[in-house]
Structure 1
Amino acid sequence: MSLTFEERKKTILERLAREERVQVVALSTDLNVSPETIRRDLDRLEKEGRLKKVYGGAVSAGMDSSEPPFLHRTQMNPAEKSSIGQLAASLVKDGETIMIDNGTTTVEVIRYLRDRSDITIVTHSVPALLLAMEVFKGRIIFAGGEVNSIQQSTTGTLAESMLQQFKVHKVFISVGGISLVEGITDYDLNEAGMSRKMMERAEEAIVLADHSKFGKTTFARISSLQDVSMIISDRGCPAEWVEHLKEREIELLIAE
């Protein structure tokens, strides 16, 4: 009895998540269907945005080399980012110090900490700083350094050396992509360096990622998945990724 498209789809996406590339011939043999059937499956999955067809097979949909400016990114998946930020904020305990990196999802955490005067926030994100100054009642520490006006953050040796002075309870990290092969990645080398330094200085490293980030690899590596304490995503998180993270004993929280 031949497998249905949904069953083949599950196998294709699971293999893509593990290896970031699939071959038509190998899939045809393993799934006991014709190469033409596999090509049609890949066509459908490409239209769904789950992969990108290449000669002889397909690769992960997300090998992106450039990131839109910060203000443009604020308009992408806003409802999901808000719900993720709210759930993340609920994990912050009284009296804790947290770091927040430069992301349109991580900045949402601040909106839900507005009444927490006993919390300290350390950030290098200008939007996070401005929002905190407007709504947050607790202590704010800004890590200054070289300013990136497009991404609206500070990076570089000065900013990283300032982060080195602190040890915090939690850091909330934004990412460009999450991959079983490459781990968590970002678009910008300097931003990746800041996120990595923040993870080094935190007891818990919590990744905030909407569903569009899974199965993607971007330019600069932040860390392996094993360095992450927890991932918070939305209800659109792909089912195969729920299983992958469970197998690797990485806690996943889904924001409603």
Structure 2
Amino acid sequence: MEAKQKIAKIAAELVQDGDTIVMGVGTTILEFARAIRGRCKLTECLISKKMIKVSKEVIVLADQSKIGIEAFGKIVPLEKISVILCDEDAPQAWVSKLGEDIVWMTAGK
């Protein structure tokens, strides 16, 4: 199974009845939407800093190709993230940055 599908499958298992899910854009998010289709009512929306600011919990779905890459804009500061779900273990350089408050989950291992 492709890495993005593995991540999406595990992320779908984190969804409970009554949860409100805010999804951004990207291929991993598309796979996640497919994984929860049929069991959740989906409304498409773009992620924004305001949505993250008011969220109780921020779960990041990203395959290893996104880890450690500097993008055009910063979406969320690391300290606001609750869970990172990826297809690979956390890079050694990130372990000290994650601290005890951020859970790193690895799909398919």
Alignment TM-score, normalising by the size of structure 2: 0.82
Q: Does 1:110 align with 2:33?
A: yes
Q: Is the 8 A contact 1:206 1:229 kept in 2?
A: yes
Deviation at 1:96, TM superposition (A): 1.9
Alignment partner of 2:60 out of 204, 207, 210: 207
Measure, in 1, the Cα distance between the counterparts of 2:96 and 2:41: 34
Residue 82 (structure 2) aligned to one of 224, 229, 234: 229
2:9 is the alignment partner of 1:86: yes
1:251 corresponding residue in structure 2: 103
Q: Give 1:1-256 correspondences, 5 Å limit.
A: 79-116=2-39, 119-124=40-45, 194-235=47-88, 237-241=89-93, 243-244=95-96, 246-256=98-108
Q: How many angstroms apart in 2 are the aligned matches of 1:245 and 1:251?
A: 12
Deviations 1:110-148 (A, max 9, x none): 2211231xx3333226xxxxxxxxxxxxxxxxxxxxxxx
What is the CA distance between 1:245 and its match in structure 2?
5.0
Higher RCO, Cα 8 Å, sep 6+: 2
Structure 1: 5+ residue stretches without partners: 1-77, 126-193
Name the CA distance, whole Å, in 2 between partners of 1:253 and 1:85.
Answer: 12
Distance 1:83 1:245, change over 3 A: farther
SS of match in other structure, 1:217: coil
* Alpha-carbon spacing, 1:241–1:94, altered in 2? closer, same or farther (3 Å): farther
1:23-69 alpha-carbon deviations (Å, 9 max, x no partner): xxxxxxxxxxxxxxxxxxxxxxxxxxxxxxxxxxxxxxxxxxxxxxx
SS in structure 2 of the partner of residue 106 of structure 1: helix
Give me the identity figure in percent: 34
Task: State how far apart, in whole Å, the 2-side matches of 1:120 and 1:203 are.
Answer: 20
Listed as ranges, the gaps of 5+ residues in structure 2 are none
What secondary structure sits across from 1:252 in the alignment?
strand
What TM-score, normalized to structure 1?
0.38
Report if aligned partners of 1:100, 1:122 keep a CA contact under 8 Å in 2: no
In structure 2, relative to structure 1, the CA distance for the partners of 1:115 and 1:94 (3 Å cut) is same
Q: Quick one: which amino acid aligns to residue 42 of structure 2?
A: I
- Tell whether the 8 Å contact from 1:214 to 1:241 is kept in structure 2 after alignment: no
Q: How many matched pairs?
A: 108
Q: Is the 8 A contact 1:245 1:251 kept in 2?
A: no
Structure number with bigger Rg = 1
Aligned Cα RMSD in Å? Answer: 2.2
Answer yes or no: is the 8 Å Cα contact 1:88–1:109 preserved in 2. Answer: yes
